């Protein structure tokens, strides 16, 4: 039996992944952005061990969420599932004065990765739209650029892959991968989505607990359990280091290498 944390598990792919992990006999800790959503997650996933609350749009609340996770952990795996879709008419600003698409989709996984202690497997949910992302290290959080919600979303999902690949490089004893679940009919994906919801959750469940050799390879971008070629910027060490530096400057939290930890 493994213990797994799934962020954003009150609905959609996070909820389904959590349910399948519980059904397989694993101990699953859920997450919602506030107490009401955490209760929703517990109601939707019978057998869930607990549900943590924390708004990933807030740097302070994300840090507090990591503290909660460390208090109830350690975890074998963390599935960084929570996310928001970008194409909106106006930029939505967080309490920290940042674009919420970047903060929730990208900065929060960075913070949780840096602060949650000891997971052996990390799974980051991205999108095929990351191929349209720009690895703009001059303005990672969209502070100066003219707002474009679709581009901001694509950028955020590209930087999620950058994060997954950077962690795979810096932490060789941790299995870190990015997963494209496909366009599936969740609230984010919409009713017209053509993908299969079960298949959309299958890869992250497999990566979290399977002992199959394919689930134990790090530094990949996967779609339906199959490795795919990712955006070339994701493997660029200069881009990885620039992204990590930008996140460190925004949060005051450093994602240290395995050598620095030792």
Q: Measured between alpha carbons, how far is 81 from 101 in angstroms, rounded to an integer?
A: 14
Q: Respond yes or no: is residue 153 known to be catalytic.
A: yes
- For Cα atoms 26, 14, 203, give the angle at the middle one, nearest 5 degrees: 70
| Residues listed for the chain | 262
CB neighbourhood size of 138 (10 A): 8
- Catalytic site residue from 110, 124, 157, 221: 157
Q: Respond yes or no: is residue 221 known to be catalytic.
A: no
The 3-state secondary structure of 36-64, one letter per residue: HHHHHHHHHCCCCCEEEECCCCCHHHHHH
CB under 8 Å to 16, separation ≥6 — which residues?
197, 198, 200, 201
- Catalytic site residue from 49, 153, 223, 261: 153
Q: What are phi and psi of 8, to 5 degrees?
A: 60, 50
Helix 108-115, helix 237-251: angle, nearest 10: 90
Q: CA 6 from chain center: how many Å? A: 9
CB under 8 Å to 51, separation ≥6 — which residues?
9, 29, 30, 31, 32, 38, 39, 41, 42
Q: Measured between alpha carbons, how far is 222 from 225 in angstroms, rounded to an integer?
A: 6
Pick from 53, 79, 82: nearest CA to 65: 53
Strand partners, 28: 4
- Positions annotated as catalytic residues are 153, 157
């Amino acid at each position: 039996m493994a213990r797994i944390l799934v962020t954003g598990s009150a609905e959609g792919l996070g909820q389904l992944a959590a349910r399948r992990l519980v059904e397989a006999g694993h101990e699953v800790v859920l997450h919602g952005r506030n107490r009401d959503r955490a209760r929703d997650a517990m109601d939707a996933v019978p057998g869930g061990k607990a549900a943590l609350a924390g708004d990933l749009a807030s740097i302070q609340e994300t840090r507090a969420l990591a503290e909660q996770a460390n208090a109830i952990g350690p975890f074998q795996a963390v599935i960084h599932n929570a996310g928001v879709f970008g194409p909106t008419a106006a930029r939505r600003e967080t309490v920290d004065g940042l674009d919420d698409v970047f903060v929730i989709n990208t900065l929060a996984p960075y913070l949780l990765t840096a602060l949650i202690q000891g997971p052996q497997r990390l799974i980051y949910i991205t999108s095929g739209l990351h191929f349209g992302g720009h690895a703009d290290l001059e303005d990672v959080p969209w502070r100066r650029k003219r707002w474009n919600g679709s581009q901001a979303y694509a950028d955020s999902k590209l930087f999620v892959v950058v994060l997954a690949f950077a962690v795979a490089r810096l932490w060789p004893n941790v299995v870190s991968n990015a997963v494209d679940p496909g366009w599936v009919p969740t609230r984010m994906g919409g009713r017209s989505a053509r993908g299969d919801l079960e298949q959309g959750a299958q890869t992250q469940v497999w990566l979290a607990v399977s002992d199959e050799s394919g689930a134990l390879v790090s530094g990949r971008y996967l779609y339906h359990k199959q490795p795919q070629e990712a955006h070339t910027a994701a493997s660029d060490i200069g881009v990885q280091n620039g992204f990590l530096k930008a996140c460190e400057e925004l949060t005051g939290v450093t994602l240290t290498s395995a050598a620095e930890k030792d």
